[in-house]
Amino acid sequence: MIDIKLIRENRELVKENIKKKFQDEKLPLVDEVYEFDKTYRECKQEGDTLRAKRNELSSQIGGLMREGKKDEAEKIKSEVGNINTKIAELEEKEANLEVEIKNRMMIIPNIIDSTVPIGKDDSENVENERFGEPKVPDYEIPYHAEIMECFSGWDKDSAGRTSGNGFYYLIGDIARLHSAMLSYARDFMIDKGFTYCIPPFMIRSDVVTGVMSFAEMDAMMYKIEGEDLYLIGTSEHSMIGKFKDQIIKEDTLPITMTSYSPCFRKEVGAHGIEERGIYRVHQFEKQEMVVLCKPEDSMDWYEKMWKYTVELFRNLDIPVRTLECCSGDLADLKVKSCDVEAWSPRQKKYFEVGSCSNLGDAQARRLGIRTKGEDGTYYLHTLNNTVLASSRAMIALLENNYQSDGSVLIPKVLQPYMGGKEKIEPNK
């Protein structure tokens, strides 16, 4: 949510930003907010004037009664009553206007950074840099689900019977490898100075709408029937919500946290052969990083955060690249974002394994997260980044470490978490 001062003082900037995001249908909202806000402030000013007048008149009543001027006192009481009625009408009007303003402000997209490339959708995202040499071996690499089957490492059929489409069991060495990656990602971020946290896996609706747009909420979140609770789609939701309505001491900034959680998402469907495995599922696990910092420090943290993910994947012997998300691909709350993509030697292309985002003060405004400095109280900036999402990282790890004999090499950094194993062998 942007600062309403932008609409009061520079409506054209807000409109131009909406155009850059190719959301022209939202342009009327800017003028609507401007007019509602103008009326709201007029009502508030009138109400303040009436309250001052009421206080002045009320202070006269006691003196008039003591002087025996009852008729004059009753006349003033009547006038005060009329003022109270008018104030009540204005307060009701103000409350209705506040709702109208907030409903529109929650939909108007955040102001994107000047460095964001302009484009309609993810097809116009821009490659930034590649890390590691993408290789294609001279032997065939099976589909990742088939690799896991060779290790008796996954069971989708049983999960279908217990839970439906989009779920799976991981078994044996594959399950152990899954846990090893998450444990390494946790320790990797702790070594970077981040505080480890395990958050609640369900959050209330006011937190959900504080961390994401309504469109994202509808597309992603599972609602708990009969309760004001949602299953989280990523631990960022809980981690940012942790600071709702708080004034954080400035000398404790930046707050840097890395969190583990399962993630629950609706996003599964018929998207082609790549959906047969674990690329797009209802449930997976993730290590996340979250930062709350001063506004002037947020872009420095943004650069650090995506580089941490690149470093981690290179430690897993996986080539990656970064893509700058264009304006039309940015979620409404984001100021700037990039995707980290891993190399798939089977498909001979890169695929998304994580995303780093700077949300400016949008989430902080929605959730009331502030700090108090020498110049007064201000909203913090929030950032989040995927350290490792278990399902997609598993695909990248299996493909890039698959050997011609069907075995899979274990990257050195994971070997301590795998009991010292240097590779896993398929079942004979």
Q: Is residue 323 part of a domain?
A: yes
Q: Do 158 and 65 belong to one domain?
A: no
Domain count, the chain: 2
Q: Span 67-77, mean pLDDT?
A: 87
Q: Span 298-327, mean pLDDT?
A: 98
Q: Do 17 and 55 belong to one domain?
A: yes
Q: Is residue 111 part of a domain?
A: no
Q: Do 87 and 154 belong to one domain?
A: no
Q: Span 153-163, mean pLDDT?
A: 93
Q: Do 29 and 131 belong to one domain?
A: no
**pLDDT recorded at residue 73:** 86
Convert 379-397 to b/e letters by CB count within 10 Å (16 or more is b). bbbbbbbbbbbbbbbbbbb
Per-residue pLDDT of 56-70, as tens digits, reads 898 888 888 888 888
Q: Do 301 and 173 belong to one domain?
A: yes
Q: How far apart are CA 239 and CA 197, in angstroms?
A: 9
The helix, strand and coil proportions of the chain, stated in percent and rounded to the nearest 5, come to 50, 20, 30
Q: Do 64 and 130 belong to one domain?
A: no
Q: Do 8 and 77 belong to one domain?
A: yes
- Alpha-carbon torsion 351, 356, 362, 367, what sign? positive
Q: Span 162-189, mean pLDDT?
A: 96
Identify which of 178, 179, 140 has the alpha carbon closest to the alpha carbon of residue 397: 178
Indicate which CATH number applies to the domain containing 22. Answer: 1.10.287.40
Per-residue pLDDT of 212-261, as tens digits, reads 887 778 788 999 999 999 999 999 999 999 999 999 999 999 999 999 99
Q: Is residue 46 part of a domain?
A: yes
Task: Please check the confidence at residue 272 and state whether its pLDDT lies above 80.
Answer: no
Q: Do 308 and 276 belong to one domain?
A: yes
Task: Please check the confidence at residue 274 and state whether its pLDDT lies above 80.
Answer: no
Q: Is residue 117 part of a domain?
A: no
Q: Is residue 270 part of a domain?
A: yes
pLDDT, mean over the chain = 94
Domain housing 380: 122-424
Per-residue pLDDT of 281-297, as tens digits, reads 999 999 999 999 999 99
Q: Is residue 191 part of a domain?
A: yes
| Percentage above 70 pLDDT, the chain | 98
pLDDT-based confidence at residue 275 (cuts at 50, 70, 90): low
Task: Please check the confidence at residue 35 and state whether its pLDDT lies above 60.
Answer: yes
45, 249, 250, 361, 378 from 373: Cα distances, Å: 29, 8, 6, 16, 8
**pLDDT recorded at residue 151:** 96
Domain end residue (candidates: 105, 134, 149):
105
Indicate which CATH number applies to the domain containing 272. Answer: 3.30.930.10
Q: Do 196 and 132 belong to one domain?
A: yes
Q: Span 38-46, mean pLDDT?
A: 96
**pLDDT recorded at residue 62:** 81
Q: Do 62 and 138 belong to one domain?
A: no
More confident residue, 428 or 48: 48
Domain end residue (candidates: 41, 72, 105):
105
Q: Is residue 38 part of a domain?
A: yes
Domain end residue (candidates: 77, 105, 133):
105
pTM of the model: 0.90
Q: Is residue 154 part of a domain?
A: yes
Task: Please check the confidence at residue 269 and state whether its pLDDT lies above 60.
Answer: no
Q: Do 93 and 135 belong to one domain?
A: no
143, 173, 285 from 148: Cα distances, Å: 9, 9, 18
Q: Span 199-205, mean pLDDT?
A: 96
Kindly list the strands in the beta sheet with 376-379, ordered across the sheet, starting from the edge strand earlier in the chain. 247-249, 370-373, 376-379
Q: Do 188 and 100 belong to one domain?
A: no
Contact partners, residue 330, CB within 8 Å, separation at least 6:
21, 109, 112, 116, 336, 337
Per-residue pLDDT of 335-381, as tens digits, reads 999 999 999 999 999 999 999 999 999 999 999 999 998 889 999 99
